[in-house]
Each structure stands twice: as structure tokens, then as C-alpha cells.
């Protein structure tokens, strides 16, 4: 009976180690170097950051207004410019995305307009 118990413990420990081993290994990175962003990627990143800042400010303003920290008049004064800033960033991102899709289609040799 004790031999069977020892074998069962050894088998259980072996199974746990075999299952856990892939999670304990550090993955090997392909390379540690970061690629430099080109001008388009840098612009998109700036637009994403502008969008996030504006939406975050709108969310905070809305929260402050609902909790009574900001009066109705102050809220009306502040909400317009923040909405315009968020809309401007979103429109710029949309335009940039549309331009990127057109360039990809042109590079693939697909027609960009009209029927053939």
C-alpha cells in the first residue's frame, strides 16, 4: 500500500510539473529593438492621444456636473470646446484611416473607383 501511495505522489508531482513547465519558462523575444514610427504612425498616435484626452475630459466634466461640483453655466461653457476637440480628433482619424485604405487598395492593384 505504501509503494502505491509513493508512486501516486510521484505521478501527481510529475503531472503538475509537466503542466506548469510551459508557464514557468521565459519566452524568447524575436528582438529587443523597437521600430521607429514613421510620420503617418506618429500622426495617428497623436490623434489617438488627443481623442483620448478630450473624451476623458468630457467624462470628468460630465461627472463633475452630475455631482454638482460644476454649475450649469460653467458646464455649458466648457462642454462645447471639449466636444469640438473630440470631434476634430475623431474626424481626423477617420480621414487618415480612409486614406490608408485607399493606399492599401492601390498597392494591391485593385481598382479604386468606378466599375470595370
The one-digit pLDDT tens for each residue of the chain (116 residues) are 788 899 999 999 999 999 988 888 877 777 767 778 788 888 888 989 999 999 999 999 999 999 999 999 999 999 999 999 999 999 998 988 777 666 666 665 555 555 54
Q: How far is CA 16 from CA 6, 8, 9, 89, 100, in A?
A: 15, 12, 11, 51, 49
Residue in 40, 22, 26 with CA at minimum distance from that of residue 104: 40
Contact indicator for 65, 75 with CB cutoff of 8 Å: yes
Helix (H, G, I), strand (E, B) or coil at 37: coil
Helix (H, G, I), strand (E, B) or coil at 35: coil
Amino acid at each position: 500500500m505504501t509503494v502505491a501511495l509513493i508512486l501516486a505522489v510521484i505521478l501527481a508531482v510529475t503531472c503538475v510539473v509537466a503542466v506548469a513547465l510551459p508557464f514557468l519558462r521565459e519566452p524568447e523575444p524575436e528582438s529587443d529593438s523597437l521600430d521607429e514610427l514613421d510620420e503617418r504612425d506618429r500622426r495617428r498616435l497623436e490623434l489617438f492621444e488627443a481623442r483620448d484626452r478630450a473624451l476623458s475630459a468630457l467624462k470628468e466634466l460630465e461627472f463633475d456636473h452630475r455631482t454638482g461640483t460644476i454649475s450649469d453655466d460653467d458646464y455649458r461653457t466648457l462642454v462645447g470646446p471639449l466636444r469640438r476637440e473630440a470631434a476634430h480628433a475623431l474626424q481626423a482619424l477617420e480621414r487618415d484611416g480612409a486614406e490608408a485604405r485607399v493606399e492599401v487598395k492601390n498597392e494591391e492593384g485593385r481598382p479604386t473607383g468606378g466599375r470595370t
